[in-house]
Structure 1
Amino acid sequence: MLRSLTLLAAICLALNISAQQTQKPPLHGKNWMAVTGKPLAATAGALIFERGGNAVDASCAMLAATCTMWDVLSWGGETQALIYNPKTKKVIAINAMGVAPTGATVEFFKSKGYQFPPEYGPLAATTPGTVGGLCYMLSEYGSMSLKEVLAPCMQLAAGYPIEAQTANSIEKAKDKLKQWPYSKAVMLPHLGEKREAPEAGEIFVQKDLLATLTKLVEAEQAALKAHKSRKEAIMAAFDRFYKGDIAKEFVRGCQEQGGLITLQDLANWKPVEETPLSINYKGIDVYKLQQWTQGPMLLQSLNILENFDLKSMGYNSTKYIHTLYQTMSLAFADRDFYYGDPRFTKQQPMAGLLSKDYAKERAKLIQFDKNYPNIFPGDPYPFEGKTNPFATLLAKRQQLFNPDTTNNNSNFQPKHDTRTSSIEVVDEEYMDRLKRGTTSVEAADKEGWVVSITPSGGWIPACIAGNTGVGMSQRMQSFVLDSTINPFNVVAPGKRPRVTLTPSIALKDGKPFMCFGVQGGDTQDQNLLQCFLNVVEFGMTIQQACEAANINTNQLWLSLGGSKIDDRKPKAGNLLLNTRTKNSELVAELEKMGYKLSYDDRSSGPINAILFDWKHGSLWGGSSNNGEDYGIGW
C-alpha cells in the first residue's frame, strides 16, 4: 500500500511538473541563443551575435567575459568544449586542459607531506589552457577577429559593477588572498578597512588583466598588418601568451610565489582537437569528452539505464531515485579507477566501459530492495576480448579502500528547521568539495553551429601570476598520488588530470537536439543525466528540466578538495534529496533501503541548456533557478 501511494504521488508530481509554470521564463529564439553563468557575460555573447558572429564567436566572447568576471574561474584556468560543425555534420571536441608542470611528481608532493596535490596556491596550478583554447576555437571555427571577440571582456576589465556573489566570495576568501601579493593587490582594494573586498555594485577595475588582453590584441593586429591570415594573426596572440613577454611575466610571478611552471612548460603546451566519445540512447546520440574528463560516466549511466523502464517508475519515485543512485554509483566506481589522460597509456578499456553488454552486466548488480554499499570498479576488459592487467591492483584497492558503511552520518551535521523537522544540510565543507563550481557556456545559431563549453580553474581564492592579472588554475588537486586509487590518474609532468568538467551535445536524426552543461564538481554529470532524462523520458520543457528537483549520490571518490584520503573516500548510501521531493512515504522507503538522507533546496548547480525545436524552426533556452546563470535569445 505504501509503495503504491508513493508511486501515485510520483506520477502526480510528474504530471504537475509537465504543466507547471517555471520560476524563470524559458528563453526563445529564432536566430541565435546565448546562455552562460552571468547576465553580463550573456550580453557579451549577444553583442557578438548582433555584430554578425556565429555561435563559436559568441561562445568565445562569453568565455572571455566569465573569466574576466571571475565567474568561479579565471583566464589561467582550463577550457573543455564540444562543437557541432554544420558543414561536416560532426561533433568535435576541444581539449584545452593544462598539464602538470615540470617537477610535479609523486615524490615531490609526498616529500611535502601531501596525500593529494594541494587545493590552492601556486603548487595547485597546471599550465593555463583557456587562452589557447579560445584562440584555437576562434581561429578554426569562428568568423571574427580576436579584437572583436575580446572587446566586451576588455570593457569589463577596464571596470564593471561587480555583483554581490563574486564580491562576497572575495571577502570570504580574503585571508587566503593576502598570502599572494598580486592577488591581494587586485582583489582587495580596501585593505585595512572592515570590508576589504569590493562592495556589490562597486566598479571593479583590473588594470593588469586589461594590459594582458591588450597585448593579445596588439599581437593579432600586428600580424594582420604584416599580411598574415586571420588564423595566423589569432595564433600570433596565442604565441605571445605562451612564448612571449606575457609568458615570461606569468612564469616569473608563478615561480616567485613558489610555483613550478616553467617557460618550457608553456611553450610546449597546445590545445588538442579530439574525437568525442558517444553512445546512442533510444535513438539519441549523446556526445561527451574523452576519459580525461568524467564525461563518459554519463554515457555509462545511460547505457545501464536503458535496461529499465524509467518512465513507468514515475519521476522521482522511490524506485526511480534508487535506480538512478545505483546506476550513478556503478558508473562512478568505474570512473574513479579507469579514467585518466589517454595520452599516457593505451590500456584504458573505454570500448569495454561503453559497451552495451558491459552495461547489462553492471545493471544486474542493482538490488531493488536495498542500497549496495560495496560497489567497486567492474571488469570491462573481457568486453574488449582482453584480460584485465589491473586485477591484482583492484583486489588490493578493495581491501584498502572499503567504503564507509559503518557511520554514514559522519559527514552530516544536523540543522533543525521547523519547516521540515529533519536533517537539512550536509557538512558544508564536504558539500563544497563535492559541488565546487565553475560555469558553463551554451550557444547556437541559425546556421547550425552549436557550442557547449565547461571552463574552469583559477577560481577565487586564486593566486595571480605576477603582473599579468591572470589567476592560476587549481586543477592539480584532481590528480592522485596513489595508483591503487586510480593507476591512470597519477600525477606526472606533462599529464592532464582527470577533471570533472563535462560539456554535452546530443543529436537526434543526425541533427542537433540538445546542448547542456552545468557547474558543480562531481555532481555535474549527475545533474546533466537527470536533466537529459527529464526531457527524454518525462517530456519536460528545457526550462522545466533545468529547474526540476534532482538527487545526488556521495558514493564516489571526490575529485576536488580534501588533503587526506579519508576526506575523499566514498560515503556509501549518502543521498541528497531536494526539499521539494521530500515526503514522509518516500523518506520512510529510502531509509528502509539503507540510505542516509540529507536535504537541500539547491540540489544542483545551475544547469544551462538549449533545445532545438525542428518542428517550428526555433530554439528553446533553459537555465536553472538557483544561481545567476541566464541567457538571451533572438
Structure 2
Amino acid sequence: MKRFIALVLLCVICLRTTAQQTQKPMIYGTSWMAITGKPMAATAGSMIFQQGGNAVDAACAMLAATCTMWDTLSWGGETQALIYNPKTGKVIAINAMGVAPTGATPEFFKRLGYEFPPEYGALAATTPGTPGGLIYMLMNYGTMTLEQVLAPAMHMAAGYAIEAQSANTMARQADMLRQWPYSKKVFFTHPGAKVETPEAGEVFVQKDLLATLTKMVEAERTARKDGKSRKEALMAAYDRFYKGDIAREFVRGCREQGGLISMRDLANWRPVEEEPLKINYKGIDVYKLQQWTQGPSMLQALNILENFDLKGMGFNSTKYIHTVYQAMSLAFADRDFYYGDPRFAKGLQPMKGLLSKEYAKQRAALINFDQNDPKIGPGDPYPFEGRTNPYIQLLKDRGFELDTTKRNFAPKHDMGNVSPKVDYQDRLWRGTTSIEAADKDGWVVSVTPSGGWLPACIAGNTGVGMSQRMQSFVLDSALNPFNVVAPGKRPRVTLTPSMFLKDGKPYLSAAVQGGDTQDQNLLQFFLDVFEFGMPVQKATEAPNINTNQLWLSLGGSKRNDREPKPGQILLNSNTPEKVREELKKMGYDMSFLERTSGPVNAIYFDWKHGSMWGGSSNHGEDYGIGW
C-alpha cells in the first residue's frame, strides 16, 4: 500500500512539474493555427479559418483586427510579411513599409532643431502601408473578399469591449492625445470627466474608422456588381484609400496638423514583393526581409555564432551570454552603418559580404572571451565581395579603425556613454505586434505590423492613426549613409518576421514585437529550439538577454537619446549570482526584469506527426488558437 501511495505521489509530482514548465499551454493543431498579440484578434483569425479561408486570409483578418484595437498599432502604420507558398515551395517577402513624404529632407528637420525626425505627431508619419499591404497579400495569395476578412474588424469598429491595456495607455497619454483634435475626438469618450478616455470593458465605438472601412468594402462590392474580377474589385478598394475620397481626407487632416504627406505621395506609393535574404545555419534555411529592415542582423549573428559550440557552453551560462552578446553587438554595428532602403543605395550596400561565412569568421575572431568589447564598430565587408569600401574615410572620420589587428572600433562620441540606463520595458512594449498563421494546405504567414501606436495622431475624419516611423531615419550620413531621410525613401526599420525551413519544408515561423530587441529575441528563441531542444512554447517564455550596445532606432530626437550604451545588458531576474558576478567582472552593466523573452509568437511544424505546435509568449496579451 505504501509503495502504491508513493507511486501515486511521484506521478502527481511529475505531472505538476510538467504543467509548470510553461506559464501558458502549448497550442496544438492539424488544420490551422492563428496566433497574434490580442485574444480578440486571434479569434478573428479563427473565424476566417472556420469560414474556409486559408492562412493568408486569416492573417489579413488578424491584421485588420489588431489595427482596430490601437495600443500596439493602427491602420495608418506599416506591414511586412514572409509567406511560404506551398505551391512553389518558396518563401516570399511583402514590403508594405510607407515612405518619407515630399519635403522630408535632412535640411527641413534640422531647421526645426531636430537631430532625428520627431517621434510623434503628423511630422513623424510615413505614408500608410498597412491597407495596401493587406490588400496586396489578400489579392495575390488569399482566397476571400476584402469584405469577408474585414468583417471582424468592422464589427469591432462599430463597438467592442476595450481591454484594460489599451484603455490604461489612453489614460496615461491623454495630455499628448489632447493636442491633436481628431485624436481627441476619437479617444475622449467622456469629455470633461476626471478620466476622459475609455474605461476598461467599455464599448469603444470608432465611427470614423468604420466609415473608412465601409467605403473600402463598398468600392469592392460595386466593382464586383459591375462585373469586375476579384483582383480588380480589390484594387478598387485600394484606389479608394490611396487615390479617392479617403486619401483626400487623410491628406487634409495630416496637413492641417503640420504634416507633409500629399495626394501624390499616396498615389505613388506601392507595396512591393521582394526576394527575402537567407543564410543556412547548420542545415536550417533562415529567411529575413531585406536590409530596409534590421532582419539581416540576425542572419549575421547566426553566421558568427555558427563558429562556436553553443550547446556545449550551456544554456544561459556566463560564456553563452557573453558570446551571444558579442555576436549581436558585432551584427548591430554593421546594421547601424550599412542597412537602409536598397532602392536608394545604387548597388553600394555590401549585403553579399555582410552575409558571407568568411566575413562572419573574421568578425567571430574579434570576440574577447575575457571582457566585453565596448569598441565594437562596423567592419569592412566589401573585400568579401571583391570590392573596395567607398566609406573608409567616412568611418575613419567617425573614429573607427578598420584594421582588424588594432581592435579600435570606438566612435569618438560613443565612449563613456554607459548611463543613464534605458527603459527597456518601454522598448519591449512600444508599438508593433506579431501575427502567425498556418493551414493544412501548407500556407504559412509571419507578419510584424506596426506604426500608429498610442499616442497616435489621427488623420482628419478617417479614424486612421498615422505612422511614427520617420524617427527611424537619420539626418547625418556619418551615422549611416544608406538611411538618410529623403522623399520616397523607406526608413530602416526594426520590423522583422522570420521563417525557417528544413529540407525545403517549414520548420519554424516566428515574429516578435519590441523595437531593437526584436532580432535579439528571435535569435535566442531559435537557438533555444534548435540548439537546446526546447518545445516552442517553452522557448517563447525562456529568459534571454538584451544588448543596448547599438544605436536605438526609436525614441528621442537628440543624439544622446540614441547613442549606444556599451556593456549595458538586460538579464532575467532569476540569473544566478555566480553568473552576475562573472559578467560584472567582464565589464557588463546589468539590469534585471522578471520577463525578458519578449512577446514571441511562433509555430513549429512537426512533420513526423503531421501537426503544428503553437507558442505564444507569457509577456503580454498574445494569444493563439489552433484546430
Give the alignment's TM-score, normalised by structure 1.
Answer: 0.93
Confirm or deny that 1:185 pairs with 2:178.
Answer: no
Please list, as runs of the form range in 1=range in 2, the aligned pairs for 1:279-290 lying within 5 A after superposition: 279-290=279-290
* Amino acid in the other structure paired with 1:384: E
Equivalent residue for 1:627? 620
Equivalent residue for 1:463? 457
Please list, as runs of the form range in 1=range in 2, the aligned pairs for 1:142-541 lying within 5 A after superposition: 142-345=142-345, 346-398=347-399, 401-402=411-412, 404-406=414-416, 408=418, 410-412=419-421, 427-428=422-423, 432-433=426-427, 436-541=430-535
| Distance in structure 2 (CA, Å) of the matches to 1:509 and 1:256 | 54
Please list, as runs of the form range in 1=range in 2, the aligned pairs for 1:61-210 lying within 5 A after superposition: 61-210=61-210
| Distance in structure 2 (CA, Å) of the matches to 1:268 and 1:17 | 57
Equivalent residue for 1:11? none
Q: How far off its partner does 1:566 sit?
A: 1.3
Confirm or deny that 1:37 pairs with 2:37.
Answer: yes
| Secondary structure, counterpart of 2:431 in structure 1 | coil
Confirm or deny that 1:602 pairs with 2:595.
Answer: yes
| Distance in structure 1 (CA, Å) of the matches to 2:417 and 2:577 | 23
| Distance in structure 1 (CA, Å) of the matches to 2:118 and 2:29 | 44
The superposition leaves residues 426-485 of structure 1 with CA deviations (integer Å, 9 ceiling, x where unpaired) of x53x65247623100000000000000000000000100000000000000000000000
Q: How far off its partner does 1:605 sit?
A: 2.4
Contact in 1 for aligned 2:417/2:563 (Cα 8 Å): no
| Distance in structure 1 (CA, Å) of the matches to 2:621 and 2:429 | 16
* Amino acid in the other structure paired with 1:614: W
Q: CA 1:86–1:46 in structure 2 vs 1: closer, same or farther (change >3 Å)?
A: same
Please list, as runs of the form range in 1=range in 2, the aligned pairs for 1:3-14 lying within 5 A after superposition: none
| Secondary structure, counterpart of 1:94 in structure 2 | strand
* Amino acid in the other structure paired with 2:420: N
Greater mean deviation of Cα atoms: 588-597 or 397-406: 397-406
Contact in 2 for aligned 1:220/1:237 (Cα 8 Å): yes
The number of equivalent residue pairs is 602
| Distance in structure 1 (CA, Å) of the matches to 2:597 and 2:480 | 27
| Distance in structure 1 (CA, Å) of the matches to 2:17 and 2:528 | 10
| Distance in structure 1 (CA, Å) of the matches to 2:118 and 2:416 | 29
* Amino acid in the other structure paired with 1:406: G
Equivalent residue for 2:10? none
| Distance in structure 2 (CA, Å) of the matches to 1:435 and 1:296 | 22
| Distance in structure 1 (CA, Å) of the matches to 2:444 and 2:599 | 20
The superposition leaves residues 374-419 of structure 1 with CA deviations (integer Å, 9 ceiling, x where unpaired) of 00100000000000000000111236943655362x223xxxxxxx
Greater mean deviation of Cα atoms: 186-195 or 283-292: 186-195
Q: CA 1:321–1:18 in structure 2 vs 1: closer, same or farther (change >3 Å)?
A: farther
| Distance in structure 2 (CA, Å) of the matches to 1:402 and 1:575 | 22
| Secondary structure, counterpart of 1:382 in structure 2 | helix
| Distance in structure 1 (CA, Å) of the matches to 2:349 and 2:598 | 30
What is the CA RMSD across the aligned residues, in angstroms?
1.4
* Amino acid in the other structure paired with 1:589: E
| Secondary structure, counterpart of 1:398 in structure 2 | coil
The superposition leaves residues 512-549 of structure 1 with CA deviations (integer Å, 9 ceiling, x where unpaired) of 00100000000000000000000000000000000000
Contact in 2 for aligned 1:435/1:523 (Cα 8 Å): no
Contact in 1 for aligned 2:417/2:566 (Cα 8 Å): no
Contact in 2 for aligned 1:434/1:558 (Cα 8 Å): no
Q: How far off its partner does 1:567 sit?
A: 1.1
The superposition leaves residues 162-221 of structure 1 with CA deviations (integer Å, 9 ceiling, x where unpaired) of 000000000111101001000001011112211111000000000000000000000001
| Distance in structure 1 (CA, Å) of the matches to 2:393 and 2:20 | 53
Q: How far off its partner does 1:21 sit?
A: 2.0
Confirm or deny that 1:572 pairs with 2:566.
Answer: yes
| Distance in structure 1 (CA, Å) of the matches to 2:196 and 2:222 | 40
The superposition leaves residues 124-151 of structure 1 with CA deviations (integer Å, 9 ceiling, x where unpaired) of 0000000000000000000000010000
Equivalent residue for 1:424? none
The superposition leaves residues 569-600 of structure 1 with CA deviations (integer Å, 9 ceiling, x where unpaired) of 110001110112x2211111000111111101
Contact in 1 for aligned 2:428/2:513 (Cα 8 Å): no
| Distance in structure 2 (CA, Å) of the matches to 1:165 and 1:184 | 19
Confirm or deny that 1:584 pairs with 2:577.
Answer: yes
| Distance in structure 2 (CA, Å) of the matches to 1:17 and 1:588 | 30
| Distance in structure 1 (CA, Å) of the matches to 2:297 and 2:21 | 32
| Distance in structure 2 (CA, Å) of the matches to 1:119 and 1:181 | 18
Q: Which runs of 5+ in 1 are unaligned?
A: 1-15, 413-426
| Distance in structure 2 (CA, Å) of the matches to 1:609 and 1:212 | 32
Q: CA 1:511–1:146 in structure 2 vs 1: closer, same or farther (change >3 Å)?
A: same
Q: How far off its partner does 1:369 sit?
A: 0.5
| Distance in structure 2 (CA, Å) of the matches to 1:574 and 1:18 | 35
Contact in 2 for aligned 1:139/1:231 (Cα 8 Å): yes
| Distance in structure 2 (CA, Å) of the matches to 1:43 and 1:359 | 43
